[in-house]
Amino acid sequence: MSRVTKDTPDWGPLERLFKLYGVPSHVLGQWMYMGSYGAVRTYKHTWTREYVNLDCSRAYEYAPPETSEPVERWLGRGDKGHYRRISKMDALDRVLNGDTLASSFESRPAIHGS
């Protein structure tokens, strides 16, 4: 299994997620591209410091190897942990710590250009 790599930023999965939920495009500036692990792209929100992990069609959460979840529910990541599929809305909700989408995105300006 390949390692997490710092590659050329791929904003496509995050942009598609925003479009799906009607998130304004300027909000992309609130995120950092952290790298990829195979097809999974990892993005970090600048205020909450939480991650969204996406491939071209799904969202994932990362968990360390000590989890008790059945192995078949996880995508392998060697001995460092695994990615498990979650809903896209759950992925955004975790990053925003339960804030509603509208209030979170409208009240915080972007700090990077998109």
* pLDDT tens figures, 34-76: 998 888 999 999 988 889 999 999 999 887 766 555 544 545 5
Residue 6: strand pairing partners: none
Distance of alpha carbon 110 from alpha carbon 114, whole angstroms: 9
Query: What is the predicted pLDDT for the residue at 1?
Result: 39
Which of 11-20, 65-74, 83-92 is predicted with the least confidence, judged by mean pLDDT?
A: 65-74
pTM recorded for the entire structure = 0.71
Contact 54, 37 (CB under 8 A): no
Residue 45: name the closest of 24, 30, 26 by CA. Answer: 30
Range list of β-strands (E), the chain: 31-37, 40-45, 51-54, 59-63, 74-75, 82-86
